[in-house]
Amino acid sequence: MKNSILIIPAAGSGSRLKSEIPKIFTPIDSNKTIFELIIKQAVDLVDTIQLILSPDGVNYMKKESIQLPKNLNIVIQKEPTGMFDAIDIALNKPQISNQIDKVIIQWGDQPFIDQSLYTQILQDLNQFNSSIPLIWTRNPYVQFKFLSGNVSILESREGDTCDDYGFKDIGIFAFRYEKIHQVWDAYKNIDTSGNVTGEKSFLKLLMLFQETNSIHWRLDQPSYKGLGINTPDELAESISFMEQLNQLDIK
């Protein structure tokens, strides 16, 4: 019986947060880090978790004696060459191809994805080849722009001009493994280096994926699930949000 896997690219240093702590281990209240929130929600709903860390991240984890669940494996990204390269390391481990049926990719700075969404997108994969939640937002820094049923993806960090309003992802993407693997190999051979960063974009892969695969664009999620933590302002917002959740006693 094939299984599900959650891949978490989290090799970022946290430099934009002006922190010496690897970003995924950043505290967002007195009791929990980003890492602990993600793992708490995901650990019982997927069979395997691949956490991608930098060498510094691994060292920090060992120094702090951070406890890992039994179904979590560490993958090391030695050089900070972007999300696509990070996922490529985890996705192409030999043992995965024979064991995995469903793949979830979640950015390591998105702590507010909950169990209900994991369950929904895994169920979506029984009918579609991919499930991708989007939210409508002001000033998206990544924009999913639709025309005639197809999507173009604009990334402001690569110099693209996004609209004042538009759809953005919330940092989580689900795929049938065999389908994403087929497109992955083809996409690797296309030169899609970013105009600014020089990194190969994971998101632009989705434009190739849609040509031969069904994608369920899930539009039913509240905006708070899209809260990512990259800057001090975003961290402050997330801390405030956690304080309110704690007042509501929502676990």
Q: What CATH number has the domain bearing residue 210?
A: 3.90.550.10
Query: Is 55 inside any structural domain?
Result: yes
Over its length of 251 residues, how does the chain's per-residue pLDDT go in tens digits? 459 999 999 997 777 788 888 999 999 987 799 999 999 999 999 999 999 999 999 999 999 999 999 999 999 999 888 899 999 988 876 566 667 899 999 999 999 999 999 999 999 999 999 999 999 999 999 999 999 889 999 999 899 999 999 999 999 999 999 999 999 989 988 877 888 888 899 999 999 999 999 999 999 999 999 999 989 999 999 999 999 988 887 65
Structurally, the chain folds into a number of domains equal to 1
Q: How far apart are CA 62 and CA 107, in angstroms?
A: 22
Q: Give the dihedral of Cα atoms 161, 165, 171, 175; nearest 10 deg.
A: -90
Show the domain range for 205: 3-133+171-248
In this prediction, residue 97 carries a pLDDT of 61
Any domain includes 26: yes
pLDDT at residue number 1: 42
Looking at the whole model, is its pTM more than 0.85? yes
**Does residue 139 belong to any structural domain of this protein?**
no
243 belongs to a structural domain: yes
Q: Is residue 142 part of a domain?
A: no
The pLDDT value given to residue 215: 97
143 domain-assigned: no
pLDDT, position 48: 92
Asked, for residue 106, whether it belongs to a domain, the answer is: yes
Report if residue 234 sits inside a domain: yes
